[in-house]
Structure 1
Amino acid sequence: MGCDNAVAWGLIVENLVYSAQFNWWVKSVSFDIDYTPEMIKSMLENETKNVQTHVVSAFKNIFISNKILGKELGLGLCDWNLKNDKRHLNSIRRIAWNDPDSRVILYGLYKFAEACDRYYQFTLTDLLNDSIDRDGISPTRIFGLKRDEMINILNGLSINYSEFISVSFTLDLDNINLREDKSSDDILNLF
């Protein structure tokens, strides 16, 4: 598959979000807001000034260096310029992934379920609710996907990959059922 495309990086991100640093990023930085370095540092108020500076610098360098991760997947679109041969960050903005690969989302659903104590049945409403305290991180939170887009993705997945997922959207019910005998590792065979 190679690591020069959004599909590969989407899979990588769905693992990175379970590291402390990226977990903090996706849980703390909202979509479609320009964050200045000072704003990000203020979100790290319990850390030393040195740590705050290093966190901002690390994310800046990651997102500027990796355009797929920063821009295409939308984890950190950077507004920056060069000053004295150094990258100067003006702001970072998270944006939604415009063209998500449904298999990456399926992989993320399984990673989410596995992190939530193998919770393979849930609703789209719960998946979209970022205020619930849980160990799993929803692909909607990672990639900024909205309800209507997820319904389309989930319906397509249930048709094309019925051996992994079934969904039901009737009346006010929105059920997602993942196969308990499958795992995120099994999804990797789809690539």
Structure 2
Amino acid sequence: MLVAHGGMMSGPRAGRAANGRVSEAELRSAVVDCRVLGAVLIHARPEFREKLSTYKGTVFTAAHVELVMSQKDPEAKESALHIYDALNRPERTFPSWPGKTIPGAKEPLHRVIDPDKVDANRKKSIQECKKVWGDYTGSGLECDEYPFASTEEGSTKGDNRFSVRLIDGPDNRKGGEYINAVYTLNRVLNGDPFYVKITN
């Protein structure tokens, strides 16, 4: 993995070949691990832009896009814990059913940009929260959902492979900011896959 440090590149493939050419293998593996808002954002390396420059608005589809959140992040620790439980301890999540699994770690999520679909996911998730915890109006808590409302795997997919949990409102909104940062900075378009990872 190559890491960007103030615009400079480091890592085993930071340099170019002596003849200045970029191999197809290098092109496919060219990624930069940039930490923005606590999320890992994957991009094509700058030295490959000349090879891609004939395509306007290029999307580097070979990159593995991953949202990384930390349980130690004071601004989004409840969001991170909820996702961690969903991915690793789904039996602790609602709705609850035997053998439940939730995608995102090994199975990718896929972005949805249709506002009606996103809104439908949110509404169903809120209904599920109210079913479990009752009316939480005025509590300062919000209904957090995973997979995210902005994904094909959201709560309306119909397979019940989702989780909802009441968490602190500002924490929930910060988690949303992280997700949107990944979408924007990686040009994650409608239907594009991405993964989620929670660290300690």
Q: Relative to total residues, which structure has the larger strand share, 1 or 2?
A: 2
Give the number of the structure with larger relative contact order, counting CA–CA contacts within 8 Å between residues 6 or more apart: 2
TM-score (norm 1): 0.26
Larger-gyration structure (1/2)? 2
Q: Relative to total residues, which structure has the larger helix share, 1 or 2?
A: 1
TM-score (norm 2): 0.25
